[in-house]
Structure 1
């Protein structure tokens, strides 16, 4: 592997006296889409939060694009790596227009051409200018998640952390958002680290997966294992069997192209 875009070594994460992630380590190559898979409570979202600076009590090593990650928030880091959260209803400020939401990262970092950049990024996620001065409650769930993705892209990061980015959406729009993310990765050369419990989403979006159980990684496998069942760990085999063993069971797996009408 080339120098990794994301590298974790011996990562332990605690909440108070409770250690919730133990000895996690993996590398994600530049341009790769890598999944963290597991049941609820397995620790996968906590790993993303540590990388993003939202879970400060950790030990081990985290580096992104070759730079070691410190604890807590880091303004410079935010230009390199951004996160898209699970719930678009909670991640957007209800009293701020979409224009304000998208302009804020540029203002914080002293970046100009804000109006042009907002229009450009709305177009990139499939929303036209009529959405610009609306409030989040005036948008559908899929439209809100498109705005959340646009906000994450405003600073032109190369690494995106995706925490179950479609699980809070209606099934009818999940495939559209996954197609959007897949296209943006290709067009902008992005690296994805995606948390999901949905194996068909992994088969559609990702190149490899790390399977977590009770805070530990039990197996790292290519997505081809979803088609031939060639998993080594008993927990992973059980997870695979529980999904029905069909990587195309989810609507996203069958989606051939992004919808013309924004979700």
Structure 2
């Protein structure tokens, strides 16, 4: 069974259609990337799946269940989203303990103390962080809390919207390694949005290249090693990424 299936998906903001006729599937246990320039519609697709961009037509299914225009409790148990900005996605006046306990309270799940302690350990934070506020944490620590919150209901599908782009370069690798380990240990499926092609090569098996709201090519991540893209836009995106990496090496 596919973890995520999108069929003829069109998404609009008001009178402007920003995603056009997107069809793709992500297998259970797979890590799949949406790549492309800013404004290509990548994050909008994640928001539509999560119920945050309800003006869409077509079909969205997650783990075989059709998605409505708004998320419900059953969806929250299947699928969760990690946002780009870990500070903006955490309530500034709630402690880590309160942030992590809230999903359990909403869904009437017991053993909150044990579950919070376990998930903090799973994301590499010890118990001294439990009663701190977001402003008392580093960017990497805040993103670990955001990942922990997404995992509290034990979903099998995770939507990752540029999960490391707001972090210092030195911290990005730590978070990517954490996500890779969690996927392996918990049998997760990832749909990741990123503009960073090396991240795709490290994290994903396949990618959909998007341009102006449309998928122009679906390619294996191995294409990032040999440049075997078919569409001219994909080739140009790859060439730009290789050039940027070369410039970094020269610098």
Give the structure-1-normalised TM-score: 0.92
1:109 and 2:94 correspond: no
Distance 1:122 1:249, change over 3 A: farther
Q: Report matched runs for 1:55-204 at 5 Å.
A: 55-204=53-202
> SS of 2:88's equivalent?
helix
CA RMSD of aligned residues (A): 1.4
- Quote the residue 1:253 is aligned against: none
> SS of 1:79's equivalent?
helix
> SS of 2:20's equivalent?
strand
> SS of 1:60's equivalent?
strand
- Quote the residue 1:205 is aligned against: 203
Q: CA separation in 1, counterparts of 2:246 and 2:119?
A: 31
Render the CA deviation track for 1:144-187: whole Å, top value 9, x for unaligned: 00000000000000000000000000001000000000000000
Distance 1:173 1:249, change over 3 A: farther
Give the structure-2-normalised TM-score: 0.97
Contact 1:24-1:217 at 8 Å conserved across structures: yes
Deviation at 1:136, TM superposition (A): 0.4
Unmatched runs of 5 consecutive residues or more in structure 2: none
Deviation at 1:248, TM superposition (A): 10
Q: CA separation in 1, counterparts of 2:178 and 2:130?
A: 19
Q: CA separation in 2, counterparts of 1:24 and 1:247?
A: 30
- Quote the residue 1:223 is aligned against: 221
Deviation at 1:72, TM superposition (A): 1.1
Deviation at 1:75, TM superposition (A): 1.3
Q: CA separation in 2, counterparts of 1:44 and 1:34?
A: 12
1:49 and 2:44 correspond: no
Q: How many residue pairs were aligned?
A: 248
> SS of 1:244's equivalent?
helix
Q: CA separation in 1, counterparts of 2:5 and 2:24?
A: 6
The partner residue of 2:29 within 12, 28, 31 is: 31
Unmatched runs of 5 consecutive residues or more in structure 1: 251-263
- Quote the residue 2:18 is aligned against: 20
